Amino acid sequence: MKLSTFAKTLPVAVLFTSLASLSSKSVAQNTLFQVVSTRDGDDVTVNQGTQRLRIRLACIDAPEMEQNPWGSQSASRLKQLLPPRQTVRLRVVNTDASGRTVAEVYRGNQSVNLQMVQEGQAVVYPQHLNNCAATQAQYLQAEAKAKQQRLGFWNQAKPVMPWDFRRSQ
């Protein structure tokens, strides 16, 4: 392994070690959770017994609710995919500045995060795509195909990326 590759992967390894060692808030990667609610196109609350977690979907960004009609369409689709009491698995990748657990959410073997991108209901979040190194190519291919087919968010003349929209507010 080249030193530069090692230097890039070391912080990720330290992060995973840190996440795994969290005490009462640790999340087992293959533990099953039940959906409590969805908030928008990339935010879901789940629980397992008395443990409740607010999850930010990893590697994607959904249009903001104020980005009409794309934000409400994205939120509606996530609610369809993850209705209350739906059983899901998490692949935790991080914790964000708001204290949310950042994770890929799986319904069976299907990544809900990837499905949202495939359907044009969310976009790849390039600033955080390194959290999905194993599936990065799938995300990029899914977005390119959704964009080419003008699905969902991509069915507009001049799409404003969600992070640019937030910055302008």
Q: Would you name the residues annotated as active-site residues?
A: 56, 64, 100
For 95-110, the DSSP string reads E-TTSPEEEEEEETTE
Q: Which residues pair with 123 in a beta bridge?
A: 61
Q: Are 22 and 38 in contact (CB under 8 A)?
A: no
Over the Cα atoms of the chain, what is R_g?
16
- Name the 3-class secondary structure at 161: coil
For 36-86, the DSSP string reads EEEEETTEEEEEETTEEEEEEETTEEPPPTTSTTHHHHHHHHHHHHS-TT-
- Count Cβ atoms below 10 Å from residue 160 Cβ, excluding itself: 16
Block residue for tokens 């959410």: 105
Amino acid occupying residue 102: V
